[in-house]
């Protein structure tokens, strides 16, 4: 086993960390959420705001969390306990563990839909005149099928996590991430070479600043948090498996860059195909599960490309789910002394149970969707996690390093192992002032905006 002097398991190679971390970052958020958020929020205008959010908030926070993890060599709760003993700051770590729990519970539901569609796309693509909205709604309003796929997804996640950091996570991402990139390139090439693809590219990239409101800004910031897996201790946990010789500023740059490029590219795999085959871009989550199967049904070799697409989406979801379960598992191993196998199985099963209402929200609990009082349980989990819990976690972690533990110590830690590029005073300014002010302002505006609707 690859253990350090402290007996903790460590990544076997530098690329192991980069692949695992970008596997966490690249997920449903890039392929399912980013394109429809962009489509709904003013195209390129949203992209510009998103890129600003990534530079001003995403990168600094990712470095911040990774530093906390590496210096403490502990899970999020233990990390705060180590750096600020006897203080209540460990609650920020606990908030992160709780958030991971909530996100994975509904993430596995959507990932289950994706697994199901690897097979469904074959049947859907073959039948002429099939109403895809109907197929999707029939799938999610069925009680057992989505639950079965959600369970299978959780079993896969638990199997990898129970095998450990190197033998489980690192081995899995080393196989899956290269496959992911090849599939993505294939799908983009297919989409942009369809006749009429240019219109989709124009739709995707045309800036419309009139769509930009307080909610758009909140949308961009919460998307950055979600997409980069920030604000809940993933990077504290993954950073705790780093050696002192590993370069944090450069590796973090690679992770942020990869995640952003994949989000942008996902739009190029989707919109050109949607327009080329004469479909509406279709707002909202239905884009991937309703519009795309219809697009594949009409495309030459569409069944094959459809299958590749949902396979790609499932890989992306799995490598992200690994990090979510790892945070919770690492907490039980470090703080409660549980065995890895027991921790991952007990938590995986509990998270599956907590996710059931989100899945059943479209069948058994559909009664909540009354005409005046519509609650989509899955959306509610999503909103709670992305618009409140993640930004709050990021804000508190920035305040902790900026004002309690100290940015000098953080910069010193980050410079260990760094050759060439490292962080300096500019990073401290971002963490102490820019990050907290932007997050606080956007959370307040977003909440007021939603209340005033
Ligand atoms: N970053 C993942 C995505 O874009 O789908 C989702 C995610 C994973 C969010 C891990 C938060 C997290 F801690």
Give pLDDT, residue 284.
64
pLDDT given for residue 48 in this prediction: 93
The CA R_g of the chain, rounded to the nearest whole Å, is 21
Structure-token match 């049947």, residue found: 123
Is the Cβ atom of 355 under 6 angstroms away from ligand 1? no
- CA–centroid distance, 103 to ligand 1, in Å, is 8
Pocket flag, ligand 1, residue 251 (CB < 6 Å)? no
Atom of ligand 1 nearest to the CA of 228: 1
Q: Which atom of ligand 1 is nearest to the CA of 26?
A: 4
Residue 445: the pLDDT is: 77
Does 115 sit in the ligand 1 pocket, CB within 6 Å? no
Ligand 1 centroid to residue 29 C-alpha, Å: 7
Q: How far is the CA of 250 from the centre of ligand 1 (A)?
A: 21
What gap in Å lies between CA 178 and CA 197, rounded to an integer? 26
pLDDT of residue 125: 57
Distance 390 CA to ligand 1 centre (A): 10
Q: Please tell me the distance from the alpha carbon of residue 118 to that of residue 99, in angstroms, as a whole number.
A: 29
SS (H, E, C) the chain: CCECCCCCECCCCHHHHHHHHHHHHCCHHHHHHHHHHHHHCCCHHHHHHHHHHHHHHHHHHHHHHHHHHHHHCCCHHHHHHHHCCCCCCHHHHHHHHHHHHHHHHHHHHHHHHHHHHHHHHHHHHHCCCCCHHHHHHHHHCCCHHHHHHHHHHHHHHHHHHHCCHHHHHHHHHHHHHHHHHHHHHHHHHHHHCCCCHHHHHHHHHCCCHHHCCHHHHHHHHHHHHHHCCCCCCHHHHHHCCCCCCCCHHHHHHHHHHHHHHHHHHHHHHHHHHHHHCCCCCCCCCHHHHHHHHHHHHHCCCHHHHHHHHHHHHHHHHHHHHHHHHHHHHHHHHHHHCCCHHHHHHHHHHHHHHHHHHHHHCCCHHHHHCECCECCCHHHHHHHHHHHHHHHHHHHHHHHHHHHHHCHHHHHHHHHCCCCCCCCCHHHHHHHHHHHHHHHHHHHHHHHHHHHCC
324 lines ligand 1 (CB under 6 A): yes
What does residue 370 show for φ and ψ, rounded to 5 degrees?
A: -85, 160
With beta carbons less than 8 A apart as the criterion, state whether 111 and 324 touch: no
* C-alpha to C-alpha distance for 99 and 327, rounded to whole angstroms: 10
Question: For the chain, what's the residue count?
Answer: 453
Query: Which residue among 20, 229, 233 has the greatest number of ligand 1 atoms within 8 angstroms of its CB, and so is best to mutate?
Result: 229
**Does residue 72 have its Cβ closer than 6 Å to ligand 1?**
no
Give the Cα separation of 217 and 220 in Å (integer): 5
Looking at the domain that runs over 14-451, which CATH code has it been given? 1.10.4160
Per-residue pLDDT at 211: 77
DSSP code of residue 130: -
25 Cβ below 6 A of ligand 1: yes
Ligand 1 atom nearest the C-alpha of 233 is 13
Our answer on whether the CB atom of 22 is closer than 6 Å to any ligand 1 atom is no
Please name the residue whose Cα sits nearest to atom 10 of ligand 1: 229
For each of the chain's 453 residues, which pLDDT tens digit applies? 566 557 799 999 999 999 999 999 999 999 988 988 887 788 888 999 999 999 999 999 999 999 999 999 999 999 999 999 999 999 999 999 999 999 999 999 999 999 999 998 887 655 556 777 788 888 888 889 999 999 999 999 999 999 999 999 999 999 999 999 999 999 999 889 988 899 888 888 888 888 788 778 888 988 999 999 999 999 999 999 999 999 999 999 999 999 999 999 998 988 898 888 887 776 566 778 887 887 888 888 888 999 999 999 999 999 999 999 999 999 999 999 999 999 999 999 999 999 998 888 777 666 554 444 445 677 777 778 878 899 999 999 999 999 999 999 999 999 998 788 889 999 999 999 999 999 998 888 767 766 665
Instruction: State whether the beta carbon of 393 lies less than 6 angstroms from ligand 1.
Output: no
Ligand 1 atom, smallest distance to 316 CA: 5
């Amino acid at each position: 086993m690859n253990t350090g002097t402290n007996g903790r398991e460590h990544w076997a190679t530098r690329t192991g960390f980069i692949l695992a971390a970008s596997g966490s970052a690249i997920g449903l958020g890039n392929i399912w959420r980013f394109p429809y958020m962009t489509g709904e929020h003013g195209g390129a205008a949203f992209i510009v705001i998103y890129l600003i959010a990534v530079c001003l908030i995403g990168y600094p926070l990712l470095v911040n969390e990774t530093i906390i993890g590496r210096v403490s060599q502990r899970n999020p709760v233990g990390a705060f306990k180590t750096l600020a003993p006897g203080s209540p700051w460990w609650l920020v770590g606990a908030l992160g563990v709780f958030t991971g729990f909530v996100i994975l519970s509904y993430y596995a539901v959507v990932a289950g839909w994706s697994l199901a569609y690897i097979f469904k796309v074959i049947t859907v693509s073959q039948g002429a005149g099939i109403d895809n909205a109907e197929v999707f709604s029939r799938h999610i309003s069925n009680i057992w099928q989505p639950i079965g796929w959600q369970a299978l997804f959780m079993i896969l996640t638990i199997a990898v996590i129970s095998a450990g950091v190197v033998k489980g996570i690192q081995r899995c991402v080393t196989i899956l991430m290269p496959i992911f990139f090849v599939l993505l390139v294939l799908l983009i090439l297919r989409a942009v070479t369809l006749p009429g693809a240019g219109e989709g590219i124009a739709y995707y990239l045309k800036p419309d600043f009139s769509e930009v409101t307080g909610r758009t800004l909140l949308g961009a910031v919460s998307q950055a948090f979600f997409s980069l897996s920030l604000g809940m201790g993933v990077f504290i946990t993954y950073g705790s498996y780093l050696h002192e010789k590993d370069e944090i500023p450069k590796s973090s740059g690679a992770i942020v860059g990869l995640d952003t490029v994949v989000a942008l590219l996902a739009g190029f795999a989707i919109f050109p195909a949607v327009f080329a085959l004469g479909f509406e871009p279709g707002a909202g989550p239905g884009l991937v599960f309703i519009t795309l199967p219809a697009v594949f049904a009409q495309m030459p070799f569409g069944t094959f490309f459809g299958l590749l697409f949902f396979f790609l989406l499932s890989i992306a979801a799995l490598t992200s789910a690994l990090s979510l379960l790892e945070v919770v598992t690492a907490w039980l191993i470090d703080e409660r002394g549980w065995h890895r196998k027991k921790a991952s199985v007990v938590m995986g099963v509990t998270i599956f149970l907590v996710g059931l209402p989100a899945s059943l929200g479209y069948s058994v609990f559909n009664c909540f969707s009354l005409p005046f009082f519509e609650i989509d349980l899955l959306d509610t989990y999503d909103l709670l996690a992305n618009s409140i819990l993640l930004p709050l976690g990021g804000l508190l972690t920035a305040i902790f390093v900026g004002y309690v533990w100290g940015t000098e110590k953080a910069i010193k830690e980050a410079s260990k192992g760094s050759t060439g590029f490292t962080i300096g005073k500019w990073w401290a300014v971002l963490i102490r002032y820019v990050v907290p002010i932007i997050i606080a302002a956007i959370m307040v505006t977003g909440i007021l905006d939603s209340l005033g609707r």
